[in-house]
Chain A
Amino acid sequence: MKKIKAGRQPNRSLAGDIGVAIVLIIFGCFFIFPLVYIINGAFKPLDELFVFPPKLFVRNPTTKNISDLFLLMNKMGNITFIRYAFNSLLITVVGTGGHILVASMAAYVLAKYRFPGSATFFKLVTVALMFTGYVLSIPNYLIMTRLGWIDTHLALIIPAFASPMGLFLMKQFMESSIPDVLIEAAKIDGAKEGRIFFRIIMPLVKPAILTLMIFSIQALWNNIGTTYIYTESLKTLPFALRTLASGGIARTGVSSASQLFMMILPVTCFMLAQSNIVETMASSGIKE
């Protein structure tokens, strides 16, 4: 048998490969537009930001927008920029980590066991996904008040743990990519559930975990969070940057620099996760 993994796959036509490449390049230009726009915008001097007719690419790149951004950050009263960045980073890291763990644990038992209430609970999760978030803010606020979580980071972190989408994604993944035989074999070998979960299940669904990580980082890093948080020293980075950027036309440059700045972390994590997903060698986990 020919090995398919290395080199060209034998059942692929060259014409087809070229066709795929052409289609992707044409549509790619269309989709990458905002990225190009934001990167260019961050380096445009003020006169180029307002030029007519508008130009996409920067002519005389300047780092003034970025230096202005940092200058303004340092002048932001007694709360330093580091503080805002730390808050956002804390929310993002703890929220994402917790979400992955809590959602995967629940997804595992929902995907691989039939126990009283399991089907109903899963249905409830998918249904909850469909209720618009806009009207939930008042009930949520009341619950946070009861718990005494108003004006703490807990109010942003803990609900993120149980985001319905994460559980749904993990459950669908575990259902299709983990054979039951594997779990049974591990049990016969005397492995406990906890060990099975961390040693066998989690490594097998790595692509799903990384994908969930991307979603979670994106949501939490951009979370403005002013609904629950009043104390200035607890506020988040997107809030601080939005305050800076909303200073009228004179701040247009700073605004476009801050857009670029906010994207650095999500895009870096995205690239790391994606290249890891692509490298995953999928196998059914059972080899004779």
Chain B
Amino acid sequence: MSYANWRRQKQMRRKFLWRDIKSFRTCYAFLAPYAIIFTLFYVVPVIVSIYFGFTYYNVLQPPRFIALQNYINLILVDDIFLTAVKNTFLVAAITGPVGYIAAFLFAWLIHELPKRIRAVAVLVFYAPTISGQAYLVWTLIFAGDSYGYANSWGVELGILEKPILWLNNPQYMLTICIIVILWASLGTGFLSFIAGLNTIPEDQYEAGYVDGIKNRWQELWYITLPNMKSMLMFGAVMAITTAFNTADQTMALCGFPSTDYAARTVVTHLIDYGQTRFEMGYASAIATVLFLCMYLCNRFIQKALSRLGT
């Protein structure tokens, strides 16, 4: 293709693009309020904090550009960060998929119930999320003294000889955190699945019945799952973000900082630097690394999910 030809094509394309933009002006008008607020309060802060990642910034003095120094320290010097990454991946690898599948499974089982009791059933399963910091209940169950439910029952039943410091013993800490996170994992994804199941057109089930679908499993596989594809995609992204952002539960249960850093996650590490030591540049670098991990994980899962039902 000659250069002149290429130029002309480019000009044409630009003209078409402009015509397109004009013909879609209603679309842009619909998008505008969201786009403006989103850019201002989400995109700009993210860009600014990615920039902070390349600076030394102690919040009091203006940020000083230090190029990749934060990232070099993060990988080569900071050995607690490695513990944090290891813990985060372990927690995410278990709670992400299990929580996601459980959320769908319970949403689907509840949908099988008669209509009258469904709303109550949803409330029961959503209780850990709606009651705010309900995971604090677990600090009572696993309290290290004999007042904790686990210790008092364990001693009474003769399983335990003496109370165990559940939340201070690195041997148990992460396991307990994983249990608690799993217990609280019926959140955003779960409710969106409930809503999604209710929008599958009734006539599709009727048609499926006529076509010889014999039981609920066939119905799940041939009608429900294909119809839920976009909701499943949403749930997956939410599961990834929640799994990688684990911090609240580990901090509430195991303390901050936790014994031997056994329950330290990437986000607790970030909070430590950002809010305790005022090293905002370093904290931003951590956030950027975490963001990249999530992004890659998300790409991978989106690919896998798009194959579902095909």
Contact = CB atoms under 8 A, between A and B. Distances in A.
Given A125-B38, A162-B34, A280-B198, A172 B233 contact: yes
A283 interface: yes
Given A139-B49, A211-B194, A162 B38 contact: yes
A81 B284 CA distance: 39
A105 B241 contact: no
Interface in B131-170: 131-132, 134, 137, 140, 146-149, 152-153, 156
B195 A277 contact: yes
A132 B270 contact: yes
B49 A130 contact: no
Interface residues of B, number: 106
B98 interface: no
Given A138-B280, A140-B45, A282-B201, A172 B24 contact: no
B195 A173 contact: yes
Given A1-B206, A11-B214, A172-B234, A38 B274 contact: no
Contacts of B109: 20, 23-24
Interface in B185-223: 186, 188, 191-192, 194-196, 198-206, 209-210, 213-216, 219
Interface of B: 17, 20-21, 24, 26-28, 30-31, 33-35, 37-38, 40-46, 48-49, 52, 59, 106, 109-110, 112-113, 115, 118-119, 121-132, 134, 137, 140, 146-149, 152-153, 156, 183, 186, 188, 191-192, 194-196, 198-206, 209-210, 213-216, 219, 227-231, 233-234, 237-238, 240-241, 244-245, 267, 270-271, 274-275, 280, 283-284, 287, 290-291, 294-295, 298
16 contacts: A4-B202, A17-B112, A31-B125, A34-B128, A53-B146, A54-B152, A102-B33, A134-B275, A135-B52, A135-B270, A159-B41, A176-B231, A197-B30, A211-B195, A218-B129, A283-B203
Given A130-B294, A172-B231, A176-B196, 11 more contacts: A53-B152, A110-B31, A115-B28, A134-B275, A136-B45, A159-B42, A168-B234, A176-B230, A215-B188, A271-B123, A274-B118
Please list the 7 inter-chain residue pairs (A to B) with the smallest Cβ-Cβ separation, ordered nearest first. A34-B134, A106-B34, A139-B45, A53-B152, A162-B37, A115-B24, A207-B195
